[in-house]
Amino acid sequence: MQAFRDYIDQQTRSTISDADFALITAELLPYRLHKKQYLLQAGEVCQYKAFVVQGALRLYTVDARGNKQIHVLGVENMWIGDRESWSQLTPSRYYIDAVEDTQLLLINCPQAQELVRRVPLVADLVRIQDERNAIAAQKRLHDAIACSAEERYASFVTQHPTYIQRFSQLMIASYLGISPETLSRIRTKLPPVPILAAAGNS
């Protein structure tokens, strides 16, 4: 749980008290996924949002032809889940599975709402994450519309250098909305990406 405590302090730029952290941890469910194991499948209700303590996951849809479109790549210190299904208890259109063996902390919507009410730092954390997610979604939409495939990949490498070692070229291409062949051509034109230690795996 120390990693999660550090995450709260870093995100809120504050120091959570022992009493408040005890309230939070009482609501969290530690959970493990093996590589390729599902956290969520389409048609199910997303019962939990998951904080990634260690490992990597992907959130994706599958079209009528069986093609996967990856919407989220999740690693340490990120939340992953279908927020609409989680909050509205409606069937999800998404799949979430583990790309690596993964350790998670799970929380359901009523528990999260109760923590927001009782712990001010949790309310701050939710507000900060909502703002950052909105900015990230806006940037991704802009990049998809206004940037070339080369520019999207260069931005991806700059923002997430460790992802190159942790996610396959096929997954990265799907996330960027380009074909694997296009990504392969782009990569041959660029200098090699330095191998960096992934958070939690160093």
DSSP string, 37-66: -EEE-TTSB---EEEEEES-EEEEEE-TTS
Query: Taking the alpha carbons of 64, 65, 68, 69 in that order, is the dihedral positive or negative?
Result: negative
- In order along its 202 residues, the chain shows pLDDT tens digits of 899 999 999 999 999 999 999 999 999 999 999 999 999 999 999 999 999 999 999 999 999 999 999 999 999 999 999 999 999 999 999 999 999 999 999 999 999 999 999 999 999 999 999 999 999 999 989 999 999 999 999 999 999 999 999 999 999 999 999 999 999 999 988 766 555 554 444 3
Are 2 and 80 within 8 A, CB to CB?
no
DSSP string, 70-123: EEEEE-TT-EES-HHHHHH-PBPS-EEEESS-EEEEEE-HHHHHHHHHH-HHHH
Q: Please report the pLDDT score of residue 171 as a whole number.
A: 97
Six-digit token string for 70? 């990856």
Q: Please report the pLDDT score of residue 189 as a whole number.
A: 83
Q: Please report the pLDDT score of residue 200 as a whole number.
A: 43
Q: Mind listing the domains of the chain with CATH numbers?
A: 2-108 (2.60.120.10)
CA angle 5, 52, 161 (to 5 degrees): 105
Report how far residue 168's alpha carbon sits from residue 66's, in angstroms, rounded to the nearest whole number. 18
| Residue 107 buriedness (CB in 10 A; 0-12 / 13-18 / 19+) | buried
Report how far residue 158's alpha carbon sits from residue 139's, in angstroms, rounded to the nearest whole number. 14
Beta bridge partners of 103: 32, 54
